[in-house]
Structure 1
Amino acid sequence: IFSFLDIVTLCRCAQISKAWNILALDGSNWQRIDLFNFQTDVEGRVVENISKRCGGFLRKLSLRGCIGVGDSSLKTFAQNCRNIEHLNLNGCTKITDSTCYSLSRFCSKLKHLDLTSCVSITNSSLKGISEGCRNLEYLNLSWCDQVTKDGIEALVRGCRSLRALLLRGCTQLEDEALRHIQNYCHELVSLNLQSCSRITDEGVVQICRGCPRLQALCLSGCSNLTDASLTALALNCPRLQILEAARCSHLTDAGFTLLARNCHDLEKMDLEECILITDSTLIQLSIHCPKLQALSLSHCELITDDGILHLSNSSCGHERLRVLELDNCLLVTDVALEHLEHCRGLERLELYDCQQVTRAGIKRMRPSSLTSKSMPTLPLLPRRQQWEGMDHGCAGAVSSSDGSHPAWGFKRHPFLQSTVSLTYSTVTHIC
């Protein structure tokens, strides 16, 4: 029974009696630990004590946001927990290449590693990981901006089983880095290149040719891309389910038409600030993409009511569409809202700064038109922040279950963390 309990419940059980203390703190019950709720207080000694208690039983550890944890503690952890498979170090800003050396030396079974915002990580870390963690399937290097093409080359030569690679904000990466990925990562299904502004069509074409199993791709902020990238996707990646191309302002209807006609499994698309697209793109998506669930058209100022009509009358509009973002679509009017009443599954509709949509139009929408509890309150809907893409994965992709992301798709609205009555001091005492 104890093996099914979370860390908080185990700690509570350990305080009931001596017998329960022994049972609850048995290392076999501590295979998965998430210290996110205690992130501001967790120090290195806590991680060291946990590693000594759990030893080879520990399979999954999340230290997301634990800024007090450094290289020394993680070296002890790596030495004691050699069966670790899933490690989240997102936001552990004190760690350096030394931690990756330790993981490489002792944790050969590692499959999932999140190093988001570990800004001291360099190419040396990737070389170490490639030599000792060859079973790695998921790696998040978002905002590790010291990483270059040389680090990527070293990584992919050794870690050829990678299925998800997140490189958001790795601003030094160029097309050559993608060529290395193309050559070695043929199993890749999820790739995030958000804000890798040096990437061009040449790099995307290489990825598409070398990674035909790609299901989720984020190109948001790669402002040099043109329809050549969409053409490569259309011709090489028929399994594509998620595409984020926000702020790719050179993409046009022609590229999205070809994409829609070849990628019928598309479920989520972020086209915010693709300022050249018109209703023609919506018509093609309506015809060829029956699985579409989430679509952002914010700041696509050429979209009109007619495009919304085609979308709402399509099979995806009737049955699948859950999220539609139309912020700053200046040509959209109350007529579009009437069309959207046919979208029976719609849960979220964003209309921020849609100047021609009126409160009267909102009121006329039947309460059943949106299945969520909140109807749009024009024009005051909370503006959607930038999609951060790929943090929950897509069907068949490697995904993160602890909220660390990659989560792909729309960024979730902030939610309240459940209150934990157990104090931090209790956890540190037990651990």
Structure 2
Amino acid sequence: MNQGSLTQDSTDEEYETSISVNILETEVHPLQQLCSRIKFSLPPSNEYVTASDTYIHKLPFDILIEIFKYLPASDLLRNIPAVCQLWYNASHVPTLRTSLSLRSQIPSELILRAILSRPMLRVLRCLALQHAEYVLADAIKFCRMLTCLNIGFTALSERETVILAQNLPPTLLHLNVEGLRTIEINFISTLVLKCPKLEALNLSHCVSVCDSCIKIISEQLHNLCRLNLDGVQWITNTGILYLTDSEAIHTGKLTDIWLDGFELSNSGLNEFIIRLGNTTQRLLDFINTLYPECDYHRFLGIQQLWISFCDNIEDTTIMSIANLSNLTSLTLRNTQQVTPNALSSLFVCQTANNLNRKFILKYLEYLDLSEAPGVNDTVVLDMCSCCGNRLHTLILNWCWEITDIGINEIIHVCCCLHQLSLIGNSTIHGTALSDIPVKVPNLVILNLIKCGRISDNILETLAFKMPNLYVFDYFGERVGGGLNDVCHYDSSSVLVKVPICSCSL
């Protein structure tokens, strides 16, 4: 009998089991009926009851199911079925099999079997499937309760992509089709009709997405909260301005936007940012009128803005971003034409009497200003004074103008940091890094790749004092770690920017 690999999970971990290739393709039988037909050599339910006060096997079947809902997916997949026939049956009840993660090399027949055996599937993760052709699109029609689908980088033909869109259930809230080259206007047109409640859509690196696609999304998806267009290089100024006219923007639902600035001009981006700022201000004024004592205004408008390839951005656009005062996450990469003064305007501005400073983006928790020649010590000091004590992620890769003065300020002010990345800074000596155990006790990742002047002794001492800290040296190797502890550039940012539900994928 042929065997294959299948994984089921409710977290980022994957668990493997072996399943027969023999498959029922025509209908989905109730799982309890299937279990009653299967013969096993498992012991009866009471054989493992050794103490007189053990009553779990006497509980009603429904109560047992409710208890099992609190167990990790790994136990439900491996350990629980092996206890006895009763627990085997319980572990296969559809209400406990609502999340599924498939490995990329799983055979096509097992893809179908896995989905058919889970009639209450809500979350499906199958990244980069190699054998999904003619199977996945048809199998999705059996997932009538699906809320989250993550099929990034899976190879599908244009025909299969259209079939996929037609079979998507109206319950779908989160969709990740990152890297699918066959996603185009026909798919988008069908998607907005089939899934009107969609809240998160990841079209990153879907190279056939165009301005017309963005117009359809803007006009039809009124509940959209997160939209990822990073890596979609052929969207122009016209396309992004469609977004500012969307109901999702005007009602404040669309809070997270990822863009690729490759084909966007400074004037187009500036107009886009200005419109976002004006919409946010109208929302703030409306809420303040109704609830003047409420602090809800902090959560209105754009919360996360990501723009890669900011080669065309100039000071005017940066200064407009300062009006998005509720931002909690900001990424501006490769701002080659932006001056230090403009970057500082994101954080502080002088009051009319020039005696006090007003903090601007004071709610930032995530900041990435990589490849910005304008980021110098002055900008870093302004950043630290504005939002330094809130930041949990700070990425300043290839910012050569930062010296040890700026690094010292970061270490002594940014006390909540979990990740600090300074890739490519060849000027700093990093003396202040020795204070991390006291000043930044919760730091998890310190990325110092290509930082050639930092002493190995500093890094080794730091790694010794904080054994749970991942310190990556000049070569990308973990200091004090094993041979497999190699830094993957910006892996955390990749995870952050994928807009999928937080429950499992």
TM over 0.5: yes
Residue correspondences, number: 390
User: Where in structure 2 are the equivalents of 1:196-275 lying within 5 Å?
Assistant: 196-208=261-273, 209-210=275-276, 212=280, 213-235=301-323, 237-261=324-348, 262-275=360-373
Aligned equivalent of 2:42 = none
Q: Secondary structure at the match of 1:171?
A: coil
Consecutive unaligned residues in structure 2, runs of 5 or more: 1-64, 281-300, 349-359, 478-485
Which among 386, 392, 399 is matched to residue 300 of structure 1? 399
| Preserved CA contact (<8 Å) 1:197 1:223 | yes
Change (3 A) 1:106 1:401: closer
Residue 98 (structure 1) shift: 4.3
How high is the sequence identity, in percent, across the aligned residues? 19
Aligned equivalent of 2:90 = 23
* Deviation per residue, 1:118-176 (Å, 9 max, x gap): 11111111111112211000111111101111111112211121111112211211121
Change (3 A) 1:313 1:271: same
Which among 107, 131, 134 is matched to residue 68 of structure 1? 131
Aligned equivalent of 1:349 = 446
Is the counterpart of residue 329 in structure 1 residue 396 in structure 2?
no
Consecutive unaligned residues in structure 1, runs of 5 or more: 404-431
Instruction: Give the whole-Å Cα distance in 1 for the aligned partners of 2:91 and 2:464.
Output: 49
Which among 146, 154, 162 is matched to residue 224 of structure 2? 162
Residue 9 (structure 1) shift: 4.4
* Deviation per residue, 1:9-36 (Å, 9 max, x gap): 445455666554543333233222222x
Q: Structure 1 stretches (4+) deviating beyond 6 angstroms?
A: none
Instruction: Give the whole-Å Cα distance in 2 for the aligned partners of 1:5 and 1:23.
Output: 12
Residue 329 (structure 1) shift: 1.7
* Deviation per residue, 1:280-334 (Å, 9 max, x gap): 11011111113112212222111111112222332xx2x2123222222222124
| Preserved CA contact (<8 Å) 2:365 2:391 | yes
Aligned equivalent of 1:59 = 122
Note the aligned Cα RMSD (angstroms): 2.9
Residue 100 (structure 1) shift: 4.7
| Preserved CA contact (<8 Å) 1:270 1:296 | yes
| Preserved CA contact (<8 Å) 1:308 1:339 | no
Q: Secondary structure at the match of 2:179?
A: coil
Change (3 A) 1:15 1:363: closer
Aligned equivalent of 1:143 = 205
Amino acid at match of 2:362: H
Residue 380 (structure 1) shift: 5.2
User: Where in structure 2 are the equivalents of 1:270-281 lying within 5 Å?
Assistant: 270-281=368-379
Is the counterpart of residue 121 in structure 1 residue 183 in structure 2?
yes
Residue 366 (structure 1) shift: 8.7
Residue 68 (structure 1) shift: 1.1
Which among 92, 112, 119 is matched to residue 48 of structure 1? 112
Is the counterpart of residue 192 in structure 1 residue 258 in structure 2?
yes
Instruction: Give the whole-Å Cα distance in 2 for the aligned partners of 1:249 and 1:307.
Output: 20
Is the counterpart of residue 391 in structure 1 residue 458 in structure 2?
no
Amino acid at match of 1:46: L
Q: Secondary structure at the match of 1:280?
A: helix
- The two structures have a TM-score, normalised by structure 2, of 0.69
Instruction: Give the whole-Å Cα distance in 1 for the aligned partners of 2:117 and 2:470.
Output: 46
Is the counterpart of residue 77 in structure 1 residue 140 in structure 2?
yes
| Preserved CA contact (<8 Å) 2:165 2:194 | yes
Change (3 A) 1:139 1:106: closer
* Deviation per residue, 1:10-69 (Å, 9 max, x gap): 45455666554543333233222222xx331141x33433444333x2222112232211
Instruction: Give the whole-Å Cα distance in 1 for the aligned partners of 2:430 and 2:114.
Output: 58
| Preserved CA contact (<8 Å) 1:142 1:168 | yes
| Preserved CA contact (<8 Å) 1:95 1:118 | no
Change (3 A) 1:328 1:54: closer
Change (3 A) 1:387 1:229: farther
* Deviation per residue, 1:398-431 (Å, 9 max, x gap): 644445xxxxxxxxxxxxxxxxxxxxxxxxxxxx
Instruction: Give the whole-Å Cα distance in 2 for the aligned partners of 1:28 and 1:338.
Output: 51
Which among 385, 408, 414 is matched to residue 287 of structure 1? 385
| Preserved CA contact (<8 Å) 2:170 2:195 | yes
Instruction: Give the whole-Å Cα distance in 2 for the aligned partners of 1:302 and 1:296.
Output: 14
Q: Secondary structure at the match of 1:54?
A: coil
Instruction: State the structure with more CA Rg.
Output: 2
- The two structures have a TM-score, normalised by structure 1, of 0.80
Higher alpha-carbon deviation: 281-290 or 93-102: 93-102
Change (3 A) 1:49 1:309: closer
Residue 350 (structure 1) shift: 2.6
* Deviation per residue, 1:73-104 (Å, 9 max, x gap): 423422x2222111111122125364455544
Residue 110 (structure 1) shift: 0.8
Amino acid at match of 1:245: L
Which among 82, 104, 115 is matched to residue 39 of structure 1? 104
Q: Secondary structure at the match of 2:262?
A: coil
Change (3 A) 1:337 1:40: same
Change (3 A) 1:365 1:59: closer
Instruction: Give the whole-Å Cα distance in 2 for the aligned partners of 1:224 and 1:330.
Output: 26
